[in-house]
Chain A
């Protein structure tokens, strides 16, 4: 039944050590998003893919990169995590047809701890 799957659910990394979070979907949606949600804050969009087209939010740090090798998978790479990058990372998908996008489906998130 799981539609948007994020692995792992909990990830611990060391300061400065690269880390990759993964997201997969069974919905065949053509748009995938990554959000960052810090403690007691609202989710904040980092970037999204529309098919293979990558769209970065203006204030997303360069430390964050993303890859989408195929429709089903999307990865979030944090090149040199700092303590301030500790957060919940949420993946979401939606279908976009023509110029119209529909509601987003979110995964359960990966909680990243930086030590």
Chain B
């Protein structure tokens, strides 16, 4: 499985934007970049995914480097409820969408 590298932890202030980086230098041409997050004492939840182009949804934006070897999850205005572990995962939709979770980034949001 292609691997991702994320910082162990990051801090943000409430109502400020947050940029969560992910490196995936061994990404293959068919790999999508998925982001899930896990709030305390809950199961993971889907955030966003993309292949080549930048993506936006109601939760976040995903910026993908032109060479696809890195990506950034952007939370436009962090709230206390966004404090979670954020996982960047590579996977191919047509290979059963198996998720191999890496270490993730623990995001702390300060009021």
Taking Cβ atoms with an 8 Å cutoff, the residues of A that contact B are 4, 31, 42-45, 48, 50, 55, 90, 92, 94, 96, 99-109
Residue B68 lies at the interface, judged by CB distance under 8 Å to chain A? no
For A107, give its contact among B36, B38, B43, B87 (CB under 8 Å): B43
**Complex contacts, A100 vs chain B, CB 8 Å:** 93-94
16 extra interface residue pairs, beta carbon distance < 8 Å, beyond A45-B100, A106-B43, A108-B43: A42-B87, A42-B104, A43-B44, A48-B98, A55-B96, A92-B43, A101-B93, A101-B96, A101-B97, A102-B93, A102-B97, A104-B36, A104-B99, A105-B45, A106-B44, A107-B43
Min C-beta distance of A58 to chain B, whole Å = 12
Q: Check if B49 sits within 8 Å of A109, measured CB to CB.
A: no
In the bound assembly, the distance between CA atoms of A102 and B99 in angstroms comes to 11
Min C-beta distance of A57 to chain B, whole Å = 9
Nearest first, the 7 A-B pairs at minimum CB distance are: A106-B43, A101-B97, A42-B101, A103-B46, A99-B94, A100-B93, A106-B44
